Amino acid sequence: MRLSLSGLIDGSLAPAPDPKRVARLTATPYAHRGLHGGGRVENSRAAFEAAIAAGHGIELDVQASLDGDAFVIHDYELDRLTGAQGTVARRSSAELRSIGLAGTNEMLSSLADTLRLIASRAPLLIELKAPDRQVARLCLAVFRALEGYRGAVGVMSFNPEVGRWFARHAPRVVRGLVVTESGKRRLRGRIERHLALWRAKPDFLAYDIRDLPSRFAASQRRRGLPILTWTVRSEEERARAAAHADQVIYEAL
């Protein structure tokens, strides 16, 4: 197989992983923010238990509290998913533990508590919500929560600084780069994708289903990076994922 110049550079600056390192992460579909719907709220313990009961993996989101703990919640603002207002990052760990998920009898959970709940019963993808270059606090919180965890797990983020942190400080943790080409289809976007790849040095890519098929994704897949794709919501998208990716992150299928 002949590689292009960009492919050769990709292989040098962001080598593909040993297939054994990532094999467990592509073995089963992932429920996006847990298997939610039908009364189950996203990123809740009930949604995670439902995914486990279905025999599927779990994708969840984490953010850092004011005092540096990783908490399981997608939105930066609290108002959509809880009865509280304001941003997650301005609340302490103790405050977040006292905030209930709307429509449930559950409180917000730390990543450490969630890992104890899942207890290696399902493969796990942890998306770190880190919007700027200051990622160390959240990365360290996730790493500390994962210490001693024996289940199949990968961390991932849109932010290549997250992958870079784990590559430098916790290289045994499988790491991924989340990618969307939305608004980035021209030359500048293509360059940015390669720069993010080189920076993050990922073991896998989590790719926007709306962008598949993608020349960039296909070139990375050919050289050994597994492609997971999000968020698959229809049979047409499932069929497209089967042709162009190695596993799905899904909702409502």
pLDDT, position 1? 52
Q: How many domains does the chain have?
A: 1
Angle at 156 between CA 75 and CA 74, to 5 degrees: 10
For the chain, which ranges sit under pLDDT 50? none
Q: Provide the pLDDT for residue 253.
A: 58
Domain membership of residue 179 (yes or no) is: yes
User: What is the model's pLDDT at position 7?
Assistant: 81
d(CA 90, CA 119): 29
Domain of 190, CATH number, reads 3.20.20.190
Helix axes 136-146 and 111-118, enclosed angle (nearest 10) = 30
Angstrom CA distances, 30 to 36, 57, 58, 90, 226, stand at 12, 4, 5, 30, 14
E strands, the chain, are 30-32, 57-64, 70-72, 124-128, 153-157, 174-179, 204-208, 227-232, 247-250
Residue 67 domain flag = no
Cα 46 to Cα 44: distance, rounded to the nearest angstrom: 5
The parent domain of residue 162 ranges over 1-27+152-253
Domain assignment present for 18? yes
Beta strands 153-157; 124-128: pairing state: parallel
- Asked if residue 114 belongs to a domain, the reply is no
Query: Does residue 207 fall inside a structural domain?
Result: yes
Query: So what's the pLDDT on residue 131?
Result: 87
Give the pLDDT confidence score for residue 35 in this predicted structure: 97
Q: Is residue 8 part of a domain?
A: yes
- The rounded distance, in Å, linking the Cα atoms of 241 and 227 is 9
Residue 216 belongs to some domain of the structure: yes
Cβ partners under 8 Å of residue 173, min gap 6: 143, 146, 153, 154, 155, 166
The pTM of this model reads: 0.96
CA 92/CA 154 separation, integer angstroms: 26
Instruction: Tell me whether residue 111 is in a domain.
Output: no
User: 69 and 63 in contact (C-beta within 8 Å)?
Assistant: no
Six token digits for residue 1: 């197989």
